[in-house]
C-alpha cells in the first residue's frame, strides 16, 4: 500500500512537467504531407503532388492555390478543414457592395460592420483575401471541419 501511495504521488508531481515537454513528434505524429499554405494566420497543408524543386526548397515558390471546396489538413494532421468560399470582411454595407462588385463576389449578408461575401468555385481564395486586405478591408477566409459545419 505504501508503494502505491509513493508511485501515485510521483505520478501527480511529474505530470505537469511531462505535459509541457511532450510534442506531437514525440507521440509518433509527424507533420502532414503536402504544400503548406497560411490562412488566417494558421498553417494548413494542401494534399497535392509535390515535384522536387529548388525554388520550393529555398522558399521562392508561391503558396499553392486554394479554391472553394478543397480539403486542407491542420498542422497536427488529424483534423481536415474544407474551404467554403465564404469571406468575412469588416466594412459598411456600401463598401462591402462595392468590394463585392469589384472582385466579382456575391454579397450574402451584412450585419453591423461585418459582411459575408461568397466567391465562385473557380476563384483563387488566398489571393482574393490578400487583395481585400490591400484595399484596407480586414478579410478572413472561412474554413469548416467536422465539428464546425455551416448552418
Q: What value, to the nearest 5°, has the Cα angle with vertex 13 and ends 8 and 19?
A: 110
The residue whose grid cell reads 509541457 is 20
Query: What fold is seen in the domain 28-144?
Result: Alpha-Beta Plaits (3.30.70)
Report the interhelical angle of 125-134 vs 93-103 (nearest 10°). 130
Whether the CB-CB separation of 89 and 102 falls below 8 Å is answered with no
Residue-wise pLDDT tens digits, 9-53: 766 666 665 555 555 555 555 566 778 888 888 888 887 655 555
Region of poorest pLDDT, from 4-8, 54-58, 68-72, 130-134:
54-58
What percent of the chain is helix, strand and coil (3-state, nearest 5)? 30, 30, 40
pTM for this model (two decimals): 0.67
Residue-wise pLDDT tens digits, 49-106: 555 555 555 656 666 788 888 888 888 878 888 888 999 999 999 999 999 999 999 9
Residue-level length of the chain: 151
Among the listed residues 12, 85, 78, 70, the one whose alpha carbon sits nearest the alpha carbon of residue 37? 70
Per-domain boundaries in the chain: 28-144
Amino acid at each position: 500500500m505504501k508503494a502505491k501511495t509513493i508511485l501515485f504521488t510521483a505520478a501527480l508531481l511529474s505530470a505537469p512537467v511531462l505535459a509541457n515537454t511532450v510534442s506531437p513528434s514525440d507521440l509518433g505524429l509527424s507533420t502532414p504531407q503536402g504544400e503548406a499554405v497560411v490562412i488566417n494566420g494558421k498553417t494548413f497543408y494542401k494534399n497535392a503532388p509535390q515535384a522536387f524543386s529548388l525554388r520550393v526548397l529555398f522558399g521562392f515558390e508561391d503558396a499553392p492555390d486554394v479554391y472553394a471546396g478543397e480539403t486542407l489538413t491542420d498542422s497536427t494532421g488529424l483534423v481536415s478543414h474544407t474551404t467554403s468560399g465564404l469571406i468575412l470582411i469588416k466594412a459598411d454595407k456600401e463598401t462591402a457592395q462595392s468590394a463585392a462588385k469589384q472582385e466579382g463576389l456575391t454579397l450574402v449578408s451584412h450585419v453591423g460592420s461585418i459582411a459575408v461575401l461568397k466567391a465562385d468555385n473557380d476563384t483563387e481564395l488566398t489571393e482574393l483575401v490578400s487583395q481585400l486586405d490591400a484595399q484596407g478591408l480586414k478579410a478572413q477566409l472561412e474554413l469548416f471541419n467536422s465539428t464546425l459545419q455551416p448552418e
